């Protein structure tokens, strides 16, 4: 009988499935079982995965299960040879620097993040320094990374770390999750990359690597599923160092080789193990559900233009000048109002400015 683990927290109650004689789970039944029970598991508290059962991935077309130990080993060796020299990977990195890099990298390409991160850390090397900084300076330093509410949340996070944790980033995942702006992925990433401890790091890159190498599909579902979380938990090694290496190497593989639009399968170190390749590269089964939003004419573009004007100004910007930033008055007013509501912009009389 093969254990099937829904996602969760710390103790374990496990349901089992009948298997074939070689120990593999029937593909259709396994998929239906996990979909049906994984959501229930979180609600009913069946499973809280601190240490998962042995990894049992989908077999290839010959019925041979993928060797997850080999997958992790090959990926780790490739990472050791080719890892990008990102500044937050340096030997003198700090947990605070890692946390900052993770917040900045949410929905922003690493190439844009790296130079901003370097300047940011030179200016505010720890949580206490950022906590004491004027918010206007923080927003200006954030520059064009996008989604500037992240900058506000990062400063709120710095204040909590400074005031409640003595300026030291907590190591416990639950304590990290209690920080402003820190979600499940960020907390897990800090545990792995800052402290070298086991955690289940599941971002879009890791999801894609697991979807292709293990599940044999082109891309994961548009939104993360409980089954994916269970698979990621099962794939993570139990050893702290090995788990941290797997988190970093699988994420790197998805970022630079196993990309969404143009995967470099010819350069992939695990191409020989990839279930998607062995299946003949089937098309994306979720293609009809994916939506891509452009940039031109969106509220995001309008908000970015307003924020750019305010960042470039030394002080207040007259409303008349703000009105010249966009031709659609109704859309502009709506976007300015949303910026004020988000705490990114303040209004004084007939002018706007960044928060003090």
Task: Give the residue numbers marked as catalytic.
Answer: 102
CA angle, residues 223, 45, 203, in degrees to nearest 5: 30
**b/e 40-79 (16+ beta carbons within 10 angstroms → b):** ebbeeebbbbeebbebbbbbbeeeebbebeebbbbbbebb
Beta carbons of 194 and 95 less than 8 angstroms apart = yes
How crowded is the C-beta side of 240, counted as CA atoms within 13 Å?
Answer: 7
Q: Is 352 helix (H, G, I), strand (E, B) or coil?
A: strand
Q: Is 237 helix (H, G, I), strand (E, B) or coil?
A: coil
Q: Can you tell me the distance from the alpha carbon of 301 to that of 191, in angstroms, rounded to the nearest whole number?
A: 34
Rounded to 5 degrees, φ, ψ at 4 are: -120, 120
Rounded to 5 degrees, φ, ψ at 139 are: -70, -35
Beta carbons of 1 and 16 less than 8 angstroms apart = yes
E-strand spans in 194-242? none
Helix axes 110-123, 135-142, angle to 10 degrees: 150
- Single out the residue of 14, 39, 227, 12 nearest to residue 1, CA to CA: 14
Composition of the chain by helix, strand, coil, percent to 5: 55, 5, 40
Surface-to-core class of residue 6, CB atoms within 10 Å of its CB (0-12 exposed, 13-18 middle, 19+ buried):
buried
Residues forming beta bridges with residue 16, ordered by sequence position: 3
DSSP label of 264: -
Q: What is the dihedral of CA 34, 37, 40, 46, to 10 degrees?
A: -90
């Amino acid at each position: 009988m093969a254990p099937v683990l829904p996602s969760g927290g710390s103790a374990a109650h496990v349901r089992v499935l009948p298997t074939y004689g070689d120990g593999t789970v029937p593909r259709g039944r396994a998929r239906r079982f996990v979909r049906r029970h994984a959501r229930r598991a979180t609600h009913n508290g069946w499973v809280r995965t601190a240490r998962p059962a042995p990894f049992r991935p989908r077999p290839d077309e010959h019925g041979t299960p993928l060797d997850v130990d080999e997958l992790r080993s090959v990926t780790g060796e490739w990472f050791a040879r080719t890892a990008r020299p990102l500044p937050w990977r340096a030997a003198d990195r700090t947990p605070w620097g890692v946390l900052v890099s993770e917040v900045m990298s949410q929905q922003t390409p690493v190439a844009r993040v790296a130079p901003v991160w370097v300047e940011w850390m030179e200016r505010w090397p720890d949580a206490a320094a950022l906590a004491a900084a004027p918010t206007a300076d923080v927003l200006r330093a954030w520059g064009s990374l996008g989604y500037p509410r992240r900058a506000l949340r990062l400063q709120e996070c710095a204040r909590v770390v400074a005031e409640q944790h003595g300026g030291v980033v907590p190591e416990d995942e639950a304590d990290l999750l209690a920080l402003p702006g820190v979600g499940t992925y960020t907390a897990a990433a800090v545990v792995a990359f800052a402290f070298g401890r086991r955690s289940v790091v599941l971002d879009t890159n890791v999801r894609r690597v697991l979807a292709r190498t293990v599940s044999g599909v082109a891309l994961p579902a548009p939104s993360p599923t409980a089954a994916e979380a269970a698979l990621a938990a099962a794939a993570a090694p139990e050893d702290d160092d090995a788990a941290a290496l797997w988190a970093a190497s699988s994420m790197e593989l998805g970022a630079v080789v196993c990309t969404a639009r143009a995967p470099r399968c010819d350069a992939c170190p695990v191409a020989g193990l990839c279930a998607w390749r062995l299946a003949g590269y089937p098309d994306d089964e979720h293609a009809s559900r994916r939506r891509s939003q452009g940039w031109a004419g969106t509220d995001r573009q309008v908000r970015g233009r307003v924020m750019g004007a305010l960042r470039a100004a030394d002080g207040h910007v007259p409303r008349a000048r703000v009105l010249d930033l966009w031709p659609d008055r109704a859309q502009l007013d709506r976007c300015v109002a949303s910026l004020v509501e988000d705490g990114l912009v303040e209004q004084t009389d007939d002018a706007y400015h960044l928060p003090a």
